[in-house]
Amino acid sequence: MKERLVVIGNGMAGIRTVEEIIARDSERYSITVIGKENYPNYNRIMLSNVLQNKMTVDEMVTNPYEWYQEQKIDLINHDPAVGIDPQQKRVTTEHGRQIDYDRLILATGSHPFILPIPGADKAGVVAFRTIDDTAAMMAAAAKYRRAVVIGGGLLGLEAAKGLQEQGMEVTVVHLAKWLMETQLDEKAGKLLQAELEEQGLRFLMEHSTSEVIGDTRVEGLRFADGTEIATDLVVMSIGIRPAVELAREIGLTVARGIVVDDFMHTSLPDIYAVGECVEHNGTCYGLVAPLFEQGKVLANVLTEQADIKPYTGSSTFTSLKVSGADLYSAGDVLHTEGLESIEAYDSAAKKYKKIFLKEGKITGIVLYGDTEDGSRYYNMMKKGQPITDLQSIAVLQAIGEQAGMGDDVLSWDDEETVCGCNGVAKGDVLRAIREQGLTSVAEVGKVTKAGTSCGKCKPQVQTLLTAELGEGVTTASGICGCTELSRDQIMTQIYAKKLLSTKEVFQTLGWQNSEGCGKCRPAVNFYLNVAWPAEHADEKASRVVNERMHANIQKDGTFSVIPRMRGGQTTPQQLIKLAQVAEKYQVPLVKVTGSQRIGLYGVKKQDLPLIWEELDMEAAQAYAKAFRSVKTCVGKRFCRFGTQDTMALGVKLEETFEYIDTPHKFKVGVSGCPRSCVESAVKDFGIIGVENGFQVLIGGNGGTELVAAQLLTTVQTEAEVIDICGALLQYYRETGIYGERTAPWVERLGFEHVKKVLLDPEKRQALNEALRAAAAAKGRQDTWRKTTENVDLREKMYTIDRPEFVKAGV
């Protein structure tokens, strides 16, 4: 006989706990869930996205009705619990239903706080807490023009921005001196206000509301100083209060919230509590990640797992879901008196960073304008990792490197947090991918909840998927799950609206995730480089991790260093340097690569800049979606079968086209005779020397799906080979889908069509001119002479000890 488990509350905390219980022991309990709202479980965090027209109500439903049926859960919906009898172990609902239990979970959540002022009960005064609240706001926006949001906190600002997106004139009234005063310091709060004012929001700061004016419906607000403002809608977003009425009635220990111990027990036997209704060690949490962490602990308790770890409290962070206002806050930024702090402010770029330190450890984080380092700092704060040997502003640059946690999630430890909103670690994501065969960001989100709240961790989830599955990652019908638009539709809009940055593309073309993800950000950055080579500044942060690092990351988190050796040629001096570096840095593997280079494998990330400096060689771009090194045989200079000087041609091709970005890697092989020792017939661009010149082949790909290259033409001179190669590169750049190899590209366009374009002298000339213009516009400064992570890593690591160090080749 199964035990009877009743959960009061159909919200995020209660259902997450149920999911965790089912994952551990699906046969243990007969489960009943009692909910107040007339909806299945949904992601409350996404209400602002619905209001901002970024998603629909259906899309924010986390567990549809079918899920309850599949899990054999009895859902009592739109019928809240009104009484509990702890002696009889029975719950009574508003409609009179009585449900017996063996174990009871209170996940009653919280209530929005409504100001106790005259007129607060008038029509047109709403909270922003539920789907119904959101629907009421949208209905008012369709009928009325003016809105006031009381509260300049996170939810209030998201509500204000959503109402503005609905077409209303919005004023935010806030009691404090600056916005989000519990999460931001004054400078960040003022920067945020300035940005939102530029977007059209209005603000009345340090205003205390004393009365709602109007007859039966709101017509305005009166403030404590006697001033007034006219409005048609008032949204109160000034905080929440734990819903503890039921708990108090049955005698549970209640302070601000329902008091629980480290294992989520209340003061009565067999009654537990999780979520916003809970108080643990004097703290109530209003963010999702702590609620989910509590749910995991309770699931372990209720399924009697071995070695149950207690809940010890949560570190929290905040991220605003408003386009154009990038901010991140974590830890305690209020109680900072007597603490050390490190601050960086770029007034021109409107970027601000500040970390608070106690005894050398991070206690609070404020980031505005550039939030990319948020996860690094947050994980260091959670671990209590001290900051040592770093001073002043260099900390903000090098702190992540010291932590051993680069920009790339692949180098993080498994316990590091990927999704701070939902408390999901890197190891959780990887286990889900491996054990449940997940192939998309959406599937990972459904199983782990990673990426289902603010969405800013989707690039990291995508990176983990790609690392695990390679080409087996599934996307939507568009280039990724962020959009349904195809490559051609995106390019058309980029040209038509002259979009010059990834952010402009995402905002203008209605990306579901306003930050993009690891799949679309590199693609859109590439398309912008092709469309506007002179006007679009290449966005290094949008490139894939290998291109940012200028090295291929290996499965153990180390990297490969592969210097360029044009035409496969090297010198004794280079060989000596390679040997010395490999010995000095204890490189585990030195290997001749498949492209006739010498690679150093197993290099530690922190050694990359030093190794590149000591080698004094350029990278072979073995990591890039770009024109790769040219593989050659020795040709007629040494081989008795050779008909052409292949090494010389290979060097000329590399010198002409190296560092040219392409939709996917572009490999070239130059063979001196039809024996084709360098496998020219499976290259993107293959050349085979014959007595009267060169056979030119295109569209060959090796790998899991072998595709033979097709003979394009035979030419007599090296200049003709280079001319055709340039035209092919540019046509591929202009028409290829990011991530598409030349073999499927040729198949998609049709070989005869591509051949017609490339063999047309006028079209070939135009393509080469476009390619030269693109290369000139970038000035080749996008190529790094001594390569590491955009060279920025070298600056980060050398700023303290070697201020004279500068970027080379820029």
Q: Tokens representing 312?
A: 């010890």
Binding residues for siroheme: 677
Cβ burial 329-338 (10 Å sphere, 16+ → b, else e): bbbbbeebee
What six digits make up the tokens of 208? Answer: 């205390």
Identity at 646, one-letter amino acid code: T
Q: Which residues contact 587 (CB under 8 A, 6 or more apart)?
A: 561, 581, 600, 601, 602, 603
Which residues are part of a known binding site for [4Fe-4S] cluster?
633, 639, 673, 677
Residues forming the annotated binding site? 633, 639, 673, 677
Q: Is 658 left (phi over 0), alpha (psi -120 to 50) or beta?
A: beta
User: What type of residue sits at position 752?
Assistant: E
* 251 touches 269 (CB < 8 A): no
Distance CA 67, CA 259 (A): 31
Dig out the tokens for 647 from the structure: 């090494």
Strands, DSSP E only, in 661-707?
Answer: 666-671, 685-690, 693-698
The string of DSSP codes covering 217-277 is: BEEEEEETTS-EEE-SEEEE-S-EEE--HHHHHTT--BSSSEEE-TT-B-SSTTEEE-STT
d(C-alpha 451, C-alpha 422), whole Å? 8
Residue 140: which of 151, 130, 148, 129 has the closest Cα?
148
Other C-beta atoms closer than 10 Å to the C-beta of 193 total 21
User: Do residues 371 and 319 make contact, with C-beta atoms less than 8 angstroms apart?
Assistant: yes
Structure tokens at 426: 């890197």
User: How many beta carbons lie within 10 A of that of residue 714, not counting itself?
Assistant: 13
Q: At what angle do helices 426-436 and 441-448 cross, to 10 degrees?
A: 110
